[in-house]
Structure 1
């Protein structure tokens, strides 16, 4: 195949992924905001739907679920280098089914019914570097080795990848082990190179959100299947502007799949993952709009240091934006008050750096936050904040 043809096919693939996977771009984001973020409210006839009473079984659930329309494996980390300076990072692998199972073509070298996109970002101080990749696969393709498909997820041994960006079980780990993983992703060359190679060790159990893994996302009952590994201890190296640093800290992994994540009236979400210094963890989110009264829908999970979890309902959580920052031509809330009286939480959550805009095909804000007690201003922890639809 000629270089020109390969480049043409790649450009076509990128355009298809950007339009199909999320249905919008930077230019038409404003229009999209009025009908839901990134096309995630689209009808999903013919696909499986996330519902209550679908027991999750591991390690099988770590794999892809191609009969659902959308899915992601998502890692954030709050790290420090050897000088004690904070480093934040994100890696996400997205999957989008192009068509319902009944309409899929037979597998051939050119047939694809699954599109993939991966994001990676690394941040320190005012530096924020972002990269994006695209791929494709067929849901019935053999996944005996990563070389059999440009992107995919294997169970034994666990391996999620898009080209050479990958999250995989350590070579010395048991084939079904999900507690010891290696994350590798790099972009750029020379002085502009950035990325990371990190070792992830789970120091606590998986946590199922919502009703035994079914996480409701709107008052009408739709939602996703959703679990996390919030107990990662991370060690390794990051490279920023060509400089490599040793880092360590805490990480959080989410795996979520659905076929219609949002109500058509929901414009986007604000999602928080928090590591408290006393060992507790907190996941909380709100989806903006989505009812006749345009009320926000909120949910979350309170996690003990031992991994026991308590679901949090809309009425348990109060989220109040306290300050906004001008980012990429938008006013984005970068300081919040979060109240959960049932577990004694009244905290301020603040982004030390506002310039964490993800300049990807579907733009959004994603970055590190620090947590302080509302009354005493005592530092309580750290975490990550993702905001979409602004």
Structure 2
């Protein structure tokens, strides 16, 4: 890859290359940049695009899609240890294509056209530990010779990995698909070691978001292919702060891929995944800024936030939520890593009689990764009565 390509790479990739090739970090991405948060609104000519008439096929779509520019396998979990203390964790594997399919080099030891990044976080009380790893592969290895690659994903039996961090089908359960998985990720030695070994069992179906899996992300129509497994029951061992604990609880895994996730004017997002105690589940997000879809109203281009979501029954039936059916109002902010970040929200969805307060009990959930963001556990209460209703996770970018 020639150096002349570097100015056109998204910020996520620039930060990754800086860490991999130079051993140093990159400055935080500027909110509101012309390519959107982390370059995810950058033009993606030559890549395959998510479209509303696309269809999902399983187990094939559990694997990687190297012809798309960006992709992730993203797990969050609300757990308790043996003493009943809440504990949150995250594990995410990201894939980034360096160039469109037509520009790929022939396979060779240094001819990588796919970059990989994995994040791990464990949070309990005021303790919050974060780790990050990077890898690379050629797209041919993603599909034809996966186990020779440093990082990759295969569909069946499911296996996602970067070095020895891995999420894979549970061989003891004879799982060939996505119902019983084992997650293993550790870093550090002796007292500094932290990580987890967890068993994940799905107790409900996969859920497709948007229009049969196509999730629109802006008024002008671009978006992603997006589905979730929000019914994980999780048990296992977590090592944090030099202590290993037995944990159990609920998890949520998101699968998403796209080539232009955002409108170029969108500065970031606020994403909620919520487990309600009555068995219902909710995914909702807003993408901040962008166009209202009318090119003749340029003065309003920065004012229109785009919202979407999915209401999920205990049986896994999904109802898409329209942008005008969701109201998100920040109620309180916390200063985290020198930024003012909303850590209490009112979330209203009249169509399903939802009016709730979503609160982050601990503000110090800043992900000190190459592209930094906020992500942490939340609790949910009824707005009128303050009655506890559930728990979940909140991710916020671009602050």
Does structure 1 residue 326 correspond to structure 2 residue 326?
no
1:342 offset after TM fit, Å? Answer: 0.5
- Write the distance in 1 (CA, Å) between the matches of 2:19 and 2:289: 24
Instruction: State the distance in 2 between where 1:26 and 1:332 align.
Output: 21
CA gap of 1:120–1:34, structure 2 versus 1, over 3 A, is same
Query: Which residue number in structure 1 is paired with residue 374 of structure 2?
Result: 365
CA distance 1:88–1:55, change in 2 (3 Å): same
What secondary structure, in the 3-state scheme, does the structure 2 residue paired with 1:140 have? helix
Aligned counterparts of 2:92 and 2:189: Cα–Cα separation in 1: 21
Does residue 244 of the first structure (1) align with residue 244 of the second (2)?
A: yes
Matched, 1:299 2:308: yes
Shift of 1:15: 5.3
**Structure 2 contact 15–371 (Cα < 8 Å) conserved:** no
Structure 2 counterpart of 1:346: 355
Q: Which runs of 5+ in 1 are unaligned?
A: 1-12
Checking the alignment, whether the CA contact within 8 Å between 1:78 and 1:251 is kept in structure 2 is yes
* CA–CA distance in structure 2, aligned partners of residues 313 and 142 of structure 1: 35
Match of 2:385 in 1: 376
Aligned to 1:4: none
Q: Which runs of 5+ in 2 are unaligned?
A: 1-12, 292-297
**Matched positions, count:** 375
TM-score (norm 2): 0.91
1:76-105 deviation line (CA, Å, top 9, x unaligned): 000000100000000000000001111111
Matched-pair contact (CA < 8 Å) for 2:64–2:142: no
Displacement of 1:70: 0.3
Q: Which structure 2 residues correspond to residues 1-390 of structure 1 after superposition, within 5 A?
A: 16-17=16-17, 27-30=27-30, 33=33, 35-141=35-141, 147-174=147-174, 176-291=176-291, 292=298, 293=300, 294-390=303-399
- TM-score, scaled to structure 1: 0.93
Distance 1:285 1:306 in 2: 22
RMSD over equivalenced CA pairs, Å: 1.9
Looking at structure 2, the residues matched to 357 and 17 of structure 1 have their Cα atoms a distance apart, in angstroms, of 22
**Whole-Å separation in 2 of the counterparts to 1:52 and 1:201:** 30
Residues of 1 paired with 2:142 and 2:29: CA distance? 37
